[in-house]
Amino acid sequence: MTPASYPKMYLYRRIVQAKLFIDQHYAEPLDLSAIADEACFSKFHFVRLFKSAYGRTPHHYLIKVRIDHAQGLLAKDVPVAEVSMRVGFESSTSFAALFKKQTGMSPSVYQRRQRIRKMMYRGNPLTAVPNCFAEARGWKNSNF
């Protein structure tokens, strides 16, 4: 690494810290201006650098992280309204709209599909596994 690249690395560390902060505190009411202040950036500069590193503005990244976690909770059969609150959305209507925008389906449809998928795997685990892998592992003629 050249000496000229050191300030750039310092900059990157601050952006990475901001991203990790969002990853850890996504469920809390986050003030992205405060995160920019914490990282010692102007809000405009922070948004620009964050977007160039992660392909999304901090706000859109926060929504993505919340929806990703929501998918995990829905798959565990947590009720939709509770999921919305647990991942940090103030309104379940905006949660449903943003969830649909990201995944292409409503939270309740997603949950129903996950439930069906789980039931199918419980009935016959081999439906989850491509045949070649099942044969390689010797699962083909097993009763689970």
Give contact residues for other proteins (rule: CB under 8 A). Answer: 1, 8-9, 12-13, 15-16, 19-20, 52-55, 68, 71, 121, 125, 128-130, 133, 135-139, 142, 144
List all residues 6 or more positions away from 89 whose beta carbon is below 8 Å from its beta carbon: 66, 95, 98
Query: 72 or 91: whose CB is closer to other proteins?
Result: 72
Query: 28 or 132: whose CB is closer to other proteins?
Result: 132
In angstroms, rounded to a whole number, what is the distance separating the alpha carbons of residues 65 and 67?
6
Query: 29 or 143: whose CB is closer to other proteins?
Result: 143
Query: 32 or 49: whose CB is closer to other proteins?
Result: 49
Do residues 11 and 49 touch, judged by C-beta distance below 8 A?
Answer: yes
Could you tell me the smallest distance in angstroms from the CB atom of residue 33 to other proteins? 21
In angstroms, rounded to a whole number, what is the distance separating the alpha carbons of residues 98 and 92?
10
Could you tell me the smallest distance in angstroms from the CB atom of residue 103 to other proteins? 9
Write the CA distances from 8 to 3, 50, 65, integer angstroms: 10, 13, 26
Could you tell me the smallest distance in angstroms from the CB atom of residue 93 to other proteins? 25
